[in-house]
Amino acid sequence: MIVDAIIANIEWLALIVIGGVLISWSVHFVPVGGAPAAMAQATGIGTGTVQLAAGAGLTGLISAGYMMNVIDNLPLILASGAIGAMIMISVTMIVGTLVYVYGVGCVPASAKVKFDPLTGDRQDLYVSQGTEGHGLPTVCFVSGVIGGGLGGIGGSLIYYALMKVGIAATSAMTSDVVGLVAIFAVGIFFVNAVIPSYNIGGTIEGFHDPKWKKWPKAVVSSFVATIFCALVAVVAISQLGGL
Amino acid sequence: MSAGGAGEEATSSYSPQTMMGIGIIGGLVGIYLGALLSPTHPVLSFLGGIGAICAIVWGADAVRRVASYGLGTGVPSIGMIALGMGIVASLFGLSIGGSFAGPIVAFISAATIGAIIGLLANKVIGMGIPIMEQAMVEIAGAGSLVIIGLCTVITGTFEYSAVIENVVAPGYIAMIFIFGGMGILHPFNANLGPDEKQDRTLSVAIEKGALALVVAGIASAINEGLEAAFVTALIGVIIWYLAFKKYFEFVKRDAHKVVGTGMLPTEEELQ
């Protein structure tokens, strides 16, 4: 019974694993400053990886779920999820920048690069002594939006695939299926948001940060971990058909 | 920067084995008693919540031991991964475990996923925390027991169909997710520092577990009636009061001095 469920849903299993890997990769793009950034002593948004990834990713899940309610078209659902997550992370970063500039009174500056790779603006002159940069320079903002988009696509891929498993099992889109699929998507999302946060060790500025090159380690870990999570999720959702 | 933890092993007065015993045995006994006795009277489903509190205390102790090494990222991340693994494993366990073996299957599958993620964290990512594998097994196991315990409070059983209908479909599962995560991550997050003491941290874990019991009790009103909901919530409030009182005693014991700041000065006194 269990093996049948897995074989019948092998393509959705693959989609879930791809989604998990995308989420894991996306976290490396998000400018996470952690506790130091909350005191404007490091570049990035002043909270942890998990909170940021969850905030943006879960918004992506909601917008993907909304789209899936109306239409069964994978590209549109993925686009909806990506846009939702990108809007959420952009709003977080804009408000963060406002607070850093007008509240704390520091200029956005990166301590990891001398010139902003996108605008070419000088950075090191503006970094306050004793800090590792502060605020969100343009490159961090762009990187964060890319991260939000990838995370949103990953989250909606998982949601879409699990939803397909659920609909195949029960042949209807009931609140049982939606509830179960949503909580599984959230669970897998959190697992894949925490693994890369251990990889980057709490803070990262974006794709220009030297730590960004460590992403293959987190992606491999997430790949393995998501396979197991996906297997149990698919089996549990397939059991809905027998209720 | 390493957020939280001195980068070394935590000192404990209760050994990890004791805490594991409390968590596994207390958790499973609570869940089974709650599920077996609640048909006789719906009020007795609160026993599942007692099991959840045991598991929360165990999980908080495991978080305390692993986060003392310094995770590099905040302590909340480990509570979220605990419940992420726990929720996937517990619903899987309940779905294939049938009407009796559910919690045990869930616990074993959570421990397996935890072991895999612990191994990946140490071997692939290279976190270099010696107890990472064991701690991940414990945290995932505790997470799954917390979820099943609180589900038992709400539905009075841990059968898959009942849990889906009464906990997952109405969305209470999201509340269980966050409350269980809070119970496991918050105690160490609130108490960490050089003077962190095990008993003080764990008293916060009991207090958080009691709050989860109160909320699960209120949620159980829809399924088990107002009387059972009221009794469960009342038991939760009593445990919360006792645990918080104990916590405040520990705070006063560990503090150099506790002084009152008095009332805010009135406008006349300021002039």
What's the pLDDT tens digit per position in A48-66? 877 777 787 788 888 888 8
Candidates A191, A219, A220: best to mutate against B (most CBs of B within 10 A) is A191
Q: Which two tokens stand for residue A231?
A: 């297997």
Instruction: Report yes or no on B12 lying in a domain.
Output: no
| Domain of B193, in residue numbers | 17-254
Half-sphere exposure of residue A99: CA atoms within 13 angstroms, side-chain side: 14
Q: Which residue of B has its CA nearest to A47?
A: B74
Q: Which residues of A touch B2 (CB under 8 A)?
A: 202
Instruction: Report yes or no on B259 lying in a domain.
Output: no
Instruction: Report yes or no on B42 lying in a domain.
Output: yes
For A134, the enclosing helix (H) or strand (E) is: strand A133-134
User: Average pLDDT over chain B, rounded to whole?
Assistant: 87
Distance CA B124, CA A221 (A): 7
Three-state DSSP at A161 gives helix
String of DSSP letters for B176-229: HHHHHHHHHHHHHHHH-STT--HHHHHHHHHHHHHHHHHHHHHHTHHHHHHHHH
Look at residue B10 in the predicted model and tell me its pLDDT.
67
Give how far A174 is from chain B: nearest CA, Å: 9
Of the candidates B28, B150, B108, B145, the one whose C-alpha atom is nearest the C-alpha of residue A232 is B108
Residue B179: left (phi > 0), alpha (psi -120 to 50), or beta?
A: alpha
Evaluated on CA atoms A87, A221, A35, A43, the torsion sign reads negative
Average of pLDDT values for B124-145? 89
Instruction: Report yes or no on B270 lying in a domain.
Output: no
Average of pLDDT values for B55-84? 86
Q: Which two tokens stand for residue A140?
A: 């961090």
Q: What is the ipTM of this complex?
A: 0.85
Q: Are A50 and A197 in contact (CB under 8 A)?
A: yes
Instruction: Report yes or no on B268 lying in a domain.
Output: no
- Tally of domains within chain B: 1
DSSP for residue B266? P
Look at residue B1 in the predicted model and tell me its pLDDT.
34
Instruction: Report yes or no on B8 lying in a domain.
Output: no
B157-210 residue pLDDT tens: 888 888 888 888 888 998 899 889 889 999 998 888 778 888 899 999 999 999
Instruction: Report yes or no on B238 lying in a domain.
Output: yes
B136-155 residue pLDDT tens: 999 999 999 999 999 999 98
A132-141 residue pLDDT tens: 888 899 999 9
Of the candidates B59, B74, B86, the one whose C-alpha atom is nearest the C-alpha of residue B205 is B59
CB contact under 8 A, A198 and B127: yes
Q: Are A208 and A144 in contact (CB under 8 A)?
A: no
CB contact under 8 A, A195 and B74: no
Q: Which residues of B touch A190 (CB under 8 A)?
A: 80-81, 83-84
Examine the pLDDT at B80 and tell me if it is beyond 80: yes
Candidates B2, B71, B78, B120: best to mutate against A (most CBs of A within 10 A) is B120
Instruction: Report yes or no on B263 lying in a domain.
Output: no
Q: Which residues of A touch B127 (CB under 8 A)?
A: 198
Q: Are A170 and A241 in contact (CB under 8 A)?
A: yes
Residue whose tokens read 């209908």: B165
DSSP for residue A210? G
- CA B166 vs. chain centroid, Å, equals 21
A7-17 residue pLDDT tens: 888 889 999 99
Q: Which residues of A touch B5 (CB under 8 A)?
A: none
String of DSSP letters for B57-114: HHHHHHHHHHHTT--SS-THHHHHHHHHHHHHHHHHHHHHHHHHHHHHHHHHHHHHHH
